[in-house]
């Protein structure tokens, strides 16, 4: 089985080249002799990138298959340019044991569109009381490499410390949803002028920053790896800089929505804009962009969070937090980071593929586009634009905050180990 990508520019650099892929591996780059039976992909004017890796996806299977399944979420991922995703543990039942994580891993392989790496829960049932069996999940067939109670914070400092200590022996990473629960009781929106005017209980920046600071210190003393989920405030970026300068093994992600959207959206009263952590201010979004560009924040993660209509299209206080992200991530990054000159395409490869693959410890993802490397690849048309329609996305749920927006950057093809999984907006 062979494929030739014709006339693409790897990382958007240099002259267009042809890329020959045989048996899942890149075997030639340059002027390529096209094998007779090869699948041809015309890529003139397009940028070739390593396949994207999402450290933070909610696929809702098991438990809420009415909003997303591993099949539909995998399709959304492939269409969004992803070749690997990490599926969060806050399912029903919770992914806090080997049976569930092996099930999720196997279902992902059966779907065959993207590698679905289950995230294991840090605590039993996400209850924050007792550590889950991290070692059993790490050594299971699912080879769990990331643990998180995402949706909830591991708020107990002793439990968090123990989890970090165990993680060093297993060579895994603890990903924290940083939210001091006592500071966010009843919180509905970013604590500030806009929430105050609408009478929403505020979610203060310090609820995130205090946990990130605490966890950085715990990780430093335990010599453990910490990953901070969905960084949303300018102050968190400052804490991360401080911790990294002191040698803390901390990495962090920012979501596309926190790069683009702000609490100005509250004025719409539309709960499609409700998310945890909440949309912050313009100056927060601006700081997150520069922090992503300078490496203080390592990568982009979608926090793709599908929700049913009845859970989302209701009054603000009753609506669940979260928004779709897999199929719009590249476009939002193009809009906020590439069009603004903050990142070139090499930088996009770093924040959407290479760094997340390193953090998630995936040996075959985020690799250089070079002969002998696995063909996990994404083709992007940097000049094309598209209009987002929630109903047309591959997810079962349709809760996109970008409805009707015209966005730059179109994923034209995704290849997983040499096999085309998505092409021209369709699953293969």
Q: Which residues are near ligand NCD by CB under 6 A?
A: 58, 90, 150-151, 177, 275-276, 303, 305, 321-322
If phi > 0 it is left, if psi is from -120 to 50 it is alpha, else beta; for residue 138 that is: alpha
Considering the rule CB under 5 A, would residue 149 count as an interface residue with Zn ion? no
74 binds, among ligand NCD, Zn ion, none (CB under 5 to 8 A by kind): none
Instruction: Output phi, psi for 232, to 5 deg.
Output: -125, -10
For residue 175, the minimal CB distance to ligand NCD (Å) is: 10
What is the chain's Cα-based Rg? Answer: 20
Stretch that binds Zn ion, among 9-17, 302-310, 328-336, 339-347 (CB under 5 A): 302-310
- What is the crossing angle of helices 205-222 and 157-170, to 10°? 50
Name the pairing type of β-strands 17-22 and 2-10: antiparallel
For residue 39, the minimal CB distance to ligand NCD (Å) is: 37
Stretch that binds Zn ion, among 105-113, 159-167, 203-211, 301-309 (CB under 5 A): 301-309
321 binds, among ligand NCD, Zn ion, none (CB under 5 to 8 A by kind): ligand NCD
Q: Known catalytic residues?
A: 303
208 binds, among ligand NCD, Zn ion, none (CB under 5 to 8 A by kind): none
Considering the rule CB under 5 A, would residue 215 count as an interface residue with Zn ion? no
- Is 223 annotated in a binding site? The answer is no
- Is 257 annotated in a binding site? The answer is no
Q: Closer CB to Zn ion, residue 302 or residue 421? A: 302
For residue 115, the minimal CB distance to ligand NCD (Å) is: 21
Distance of CA 219 to the CA centre of its chain: 22
- Is 33 annotated in a binding site? The answer is no
335 binds, among ligand NCD, Zn ion, none (CB under 5 to 8 A by kind): none
Out of 191, 298, 303, 354, point to the residue binding Zn ion (CB under 5 A). Answer: 303
- Is 60 annotated in a binding site? The answer is yes
3-state secondary structure the chain: CEEEEEEEEECCCCCCEEEEEECCEEEEEECCCCCCCCEEEECCCCEEEECEEEEEECCCCCCCCCCCCHHHHHHHHHHCCEEEEEECCCCCCCCCCHHHHHHHHHHHHHHCCCEEEECECCEHHHCCCCECCHHHHHCCCCCCCEECCCCCCCCCHHHHHHHHHHHHHHCCEEEECCCCHHHCCCCCEECCHHHHHHCCCEECHHHHHHHHHHHHHHHHHHCCCEEECCCCCHHHHHHHHHHHHCCCCEEEEECHHHHHCCHHHHHHCCHHHCCCCCCCCHHHHHHHHHHHHCCCCCEECCCECCCCHHHHCCCHHHCCCCECCCCCHHHHHHHHHHCCCCCCHHHHHHHHHHHHHHHCCCCCCCCCCCCCCECCEEEEEEEEEEECCHHHCCCCCCCCCCCCCEEEEEEEEEEECCEEEEECCEEC
Q: Closer CB to ligand NCD, residue 177 or residue 225? A: 177
For residue 99, the minimal CB distance to ligand NCD (Å) is: 21
- Is 276 annotated in a binding site? The answer is yes
For residue 76, the minimal CB distance to ligand NCD (Å) is: 15
Distance, in Å, from the CA atom of 329 to the CA atom of 268, rounded to the nearest integer, reads: 22
Q: Closer CB to ligand NCD, residue 55 or residue 369? A: 55
For residue 73, the minimal CB distance to ligand NCD (Å) is: 12
- Is 150 annotated in a binding site? The answer is yes
9 binds, among Zn ion, ligand NCD, none (CB under 5 to 8 A by kind): none
Q: Closer CB to Zn ion, residue 96 or residue 150? A: 150
Q: How many residues of this chain interact with Zn ion, rule: CB under 5 A? A: 3
- Is 190 annotated in a binding site? The answer is no
Stretch that binds Zn ion, among 108-116, 264-272, 298-306, 391-399 (CB under 5 A): 298-306
Rounded to 10 degrees, the C-alpha dihedral 223/227/228/234 comes to 70
How many CB atoms sit inside 10 A of residue 233's CB? 25
- Is 307 annotated in a binding site? The answer is yes
Cβ-proximal residue to Zn ion, closest one: 177
Q: Closer CB to ligand NCD, residue 172 or residue 305? A: 305
- Is 321 annotated in a binding site? The answer is yes
Q: Closer CB to ligand NCD, residue 90 or residue 395? A: 90
For residue 274, the minimal CB distance to ligand NCD (Å) is: 7
Annotated binding-site members = 56, 58-60, 90, 150, 177, 230, 276, 303, 307, 321-322
Annotated binding-site members for Zn(2+) = 56, 58, 150, 177, 230, 303
Annotated binding-site members for substrate = 58-60, 90, 276, 307, 321-322
């Amino acid at each position: 089985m062979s494929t030739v990508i014709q006339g693409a520019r790897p990382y958007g650099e240099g002259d267009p080249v042809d890329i020959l892929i045989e048996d899942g591996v890149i075997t030639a780059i340059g002027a390529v002799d096209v094998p007779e039976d090869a699948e041809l992909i015309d890529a003139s004017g397009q940028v070739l990138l390593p396949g994207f890796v999402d450290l933070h996806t909610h696929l809702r299977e098991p438990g809420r298959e009415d909003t997303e399944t591993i099949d539909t979420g995998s399709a959304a991922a492939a269409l969004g340019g992803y070749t690997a995703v990490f599926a969060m543990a806050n399912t029903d039942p919770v992914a806090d044991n080997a049976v569930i994580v092996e099930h999720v891993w196997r279902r992902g392989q059966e779907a065959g569109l993207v590698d679905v790496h289950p995230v294991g829960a840090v605590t039993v049932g996400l209850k924050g009381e007792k550590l889950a069996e991290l070692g059993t999940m790490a050594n299971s067939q699912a080879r769990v490499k990331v643990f998180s109670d995402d949706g909830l914070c591991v708020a107990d400092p002793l439990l968090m410390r123990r989890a970090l200590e165990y993680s060093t022996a297993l060579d895994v990473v603890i990903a924290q949803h940083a939210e001091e629960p006592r500071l966010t009781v009843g919180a509905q929106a970013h604590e500030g002028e806009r929430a105050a005017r609408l009478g929403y209980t505020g979610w203060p920046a310090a609820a995130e920053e205090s946990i990130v600071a605490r966890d950085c210190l715990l990780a430093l003393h335990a010599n453990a790896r910490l990953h901070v989920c969905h960084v949303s405030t300018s102050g968190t970026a400052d804490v991360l800089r401080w911790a990294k300068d002191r040698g803390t093994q901390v990495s962090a992600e920012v979501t596309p929505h926190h790069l683009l959207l702000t609490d100005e959206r509250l004025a719409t009263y539309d709960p499609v804009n409700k998310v945890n952590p909440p949309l912050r201010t313009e100056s927060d979004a601006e700081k997150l962009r520069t922090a992503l560009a300078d490496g203080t924040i390592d990568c982009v993660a979608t926090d793709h969070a599908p929700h049913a209509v009845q859970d989302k299209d209701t009054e603000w206080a009753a609506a669940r937090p979260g928004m779709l992200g897999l199929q719009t991530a590249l476009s939002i990054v193009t809009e906020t980071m590439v069009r603004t000159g903050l990142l070139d395409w090499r930088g996009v490869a770093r924040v959407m593929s290479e760094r997340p693959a390193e953090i998630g410890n995936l040996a075959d993802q985020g690799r250089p586009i070079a002969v002998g490397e696995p063909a996990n690849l994404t083709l992007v048309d940097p000049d094309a634009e598209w209009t987002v329609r929630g109903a047309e996305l591959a997810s079962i749920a349709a809760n996109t905050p970008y409805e009707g927006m015209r966005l730059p950057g179109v994923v034209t093809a995704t290849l997983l180990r040499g096999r085309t999984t998505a092409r021209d907006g369709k699953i293969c």
